Amino acid sequence: MNCKHLLLITTLALSTLNPTGGSVAAEISAIREPSTAHALFTRAMNERNLEQLCALYADQAVMVLRSGKEVRGREAVQEVFSRMVQAIESLELETVYMLRSDKSALFRSHYTATFRNGEGELETHTNSGIEMLEKQPDGSWLFVIDHQVGADRIPRGKPDGANHGE
């Protein structure tokens, strides 16, 4: 099931009547200004909101994980996020800088993520990422590239592009 299907099912489920008789609307936020992208992402991750996380990414998005593995497309990004929201305890993310043109925005981020590993123990990782957003025809912005460790310093002896996030 891809993010669009998951979002549709969630929206339909939430639009049914709640026990008090009122209707409940899904609150999925779009990125209207690039400067809000990291805040929306952080909130969605800390709330473990898979639908919101997926809604921030373009269908053709490319993500480079800490391991160096590339995932492509919204469905692959959803698989990554579905694992992340199960393990995440907290995420703190700072925008180091943003460079914006009319139709694209480039970010450098610094973040600390605390999560439960496979043994259930807490781990904390601090890294610096690079993200790129593109403006959509409706005026919203979506992540098209997300390199989780793209701004980290590459250890000596490893070629550029090596799995330096391990």
pLDDT 10s digits, 78-117: 999 999 999 999 999 999 999 999 999 999 999 999 999 9
Q: What's the pTM value of the predicted model, to 2 decimals?
A: 0.77
pLDDT 10s digits, 145-155: 999 999 887 65
**Using 50, 70 and 90 to split pLDDT, how confident is the model at 6?**
very low
111 contacts 94 by C-beta, under 8 angstroms: yes
- Going from the N-terminus, what domains does the chain have, and what CATH number goes with each? 31-147 (3.10.450.50)
pLDDT 10s digits, 119-144: 999 999 999 999 999 999 999 999 99
State how far the Cα of 143 lies from the Cα of 123, in Å rounded to an integer.
Answer: 26
Return the closest-CA partner of residue 61 out of 154, 148, 161: 148
Q: How far apart are the first and last CA of the chain?
A: 29
